[in-house]
């Protein structure tokens, strides 16, 4: 059985080297995604959403055809008229796209049920350039992309992609609107939401970390799990270590969203049950200002003493302080 006694003392050490966790010189994109599930010849379900990287910023009310703004800054600096025009365009697209697809499904060898995903957006690179993109995928694989005012088939889309592009390229008015969205509206909007949402997007929230064990991976082996939760922004560095050595077997889950917009992740290490001594989980994140979190696996009884000490000392001090304050300002404490 496992003798993990997790030290409450998330010992804080000054980090020697400041690695990539703080660097955020990466591209950032804004994209709208329309997912259409075609069940049969007469039935399609459409969902629209918009995302700033991994963060959902907009939803869509299918009944009213209105955009749902999910963050206080999701409107950027779009005017009421621009929002209305966009809603009309997307509403039109939500009618046109399924009609065209149903009509040509057998010609294109689209077999019911199937999924079509249309993505439209733009990406800001660290140099400041913004490039628009627009793609169409069938069953999760891209078959068309939009370039220079027209739809082009992807190589892996084969002859089907060529047939689909030929049809979509006939809708000239729609292509012109798309070209404006890609080269003008999206870049302006991306800059404006990055500006409006700056405080929220760049907020620094410290992670909490704790240890547990997973199901035993085999006889005489243990699965150690380091949980890290509640941090923002997303880039983070978490490893199982011994001394200065990163343990090679460290495995990481995906970084998953918490409901409050912060992030969560698990980092695993599969080890011999007899080889756990000196192992610790190290967490490096921009919010920690260089003070990495170190969580040690403790086996020896000494750690219990330390935990008790760590809890008791502040408790005693707090109690003493409370008594002192009560004497000094009784009015304040009469509330209790």
Number of residues that bind ligand NAG (CB under 6 A): 11
Nearer to ligand NAG, 28 or 255 (CB): 28
**CA dist 322 to 308, 311, 312, 314, Å?**
21, 17, 15, 12
154 lies in the binding site for ligand NAG (CB under 6 A):
no
What are φ and ψ of residue 202, in 5° steps? Answer: -100, 10
**Contacts with ligand NAG, 90-129, as mask; x by CB under 6 A:** ----------------------------------------
Question: Interacting stretch for ligand NAG, rule CB under 6 A, among 114-122, 186-194, 219-227, 234-242?
Answer: 186-194
On the CB side of 54, CA atoms within 13 Å amount to 13
The reply on whether position 148 binds ligand NAG by CB under 6 A is: yes
CB-wise, 106 or 216, nearer to ligand NAG? 106
Q: Whose Cβ is closer to ligand NAG: residue 76's or residue 207's? A: 76
Mask: binding to ligand NAG, 245-274, rule CB under 6 A, as x and -? Answer: ------------------------------
Token code pair at residue 35: 């997912």
Among 3, 39, 324, 333, binds ligand NAG (CB under 6 A): 39
By CB under 6 A, tell whether 81 contacts ligand NAG: no
Asked if residues 139 and 148 have their Cβ atoms less than 8 Å apart, the reply is no
Sole binder of ligand NAG in the list 192, 250, 287, 291 (CB under 6 A): 192
Instruction: Indicate the burial class of 68 (C-beta count within 10 angstroms; 0-12, 13-18, 19 or more).
Output: middle
Q: Is 40 in the site for ligand NAG (CB under 6 A)?
A: yes
Confirm if 140 and 118 have CB atoms less than 8 A apart: no
Cα distances from 222 to residues 215, 249, 276, in angstroms, run: 8, 12, 9
In this complex, which beta carbon is closest to ligand NAG, that of residue 39 or of residue 332? 39
- Paired tokens of 104: 């040509």
Q: How many CB atoms lie within 10 A of CB 193?
A: 23
């Amino acid at each position: 059985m496992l003798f993990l006694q997790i030290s409450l003392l998330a010992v804080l050490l000054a980090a020697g080297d400041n690695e990539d966790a703080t660097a955020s010189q990466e591209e950032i994109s804004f994209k709208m995604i329309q997912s259409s599930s075609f069940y049969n010849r007469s039935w399609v379900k459409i969902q629209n959403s918009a995302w700033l990287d991994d963060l959902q910023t907009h939803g869509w009310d299918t009944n009213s055809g209105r955009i749902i703004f999910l963050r206080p800054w999701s409107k950027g600096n779009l005017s009421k008229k621009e929002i209305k025009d966009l809603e009309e365009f997307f509403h039109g697209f939500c009618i046109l796209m399924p009609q065209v697809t149903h009509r040509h499904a057998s010609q294109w060898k689209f077999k019911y049920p199937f999924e079509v995903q249309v993505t439209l957006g733009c990406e800001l690179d660290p140099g400041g350039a913004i490039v628009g993109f627009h793609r169409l995928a069938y069953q999760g694989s891209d078959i068309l992309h939009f370039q220079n005012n027209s739809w082009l088939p992807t190589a892996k889309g084969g002859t089907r992609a060529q047939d689909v592009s030929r049809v979509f390229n006939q809708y000239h008015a729609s292509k012109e609107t798309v070209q404006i969205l890609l080269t003008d509206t999206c870049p302006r909007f991306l800059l404006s939401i990055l500006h409006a949402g700056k405080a929220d997007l760049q907020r620094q929230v410290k992670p909490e970390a704790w240890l547990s064990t997973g199901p035993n991976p085999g006889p005489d082996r243990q699965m150690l799990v380091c949980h890290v939760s509640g941090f923002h922004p997303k880039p983070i560095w978490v490893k199982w270590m011994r001394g200065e050595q990163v343990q090679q077997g460290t495995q990481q889950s995906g970084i998953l969203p918490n409901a409050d917009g912060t992030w969560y992740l698990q980092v695993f290490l599969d080890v011999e049950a007899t080889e756990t001594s000196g192992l610790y989980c190290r967490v490096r994140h921009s919010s920690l200002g260089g003070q990495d979190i170190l969580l040690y696996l403790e086996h020896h009884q000494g750690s219990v003493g330390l935990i008790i000490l760590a809890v008791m000392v502040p408790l005693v001090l707090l109690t003493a302080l409370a008594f002192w304050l009560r004497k000094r300002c009784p009015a304040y404490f009469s509330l209790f």
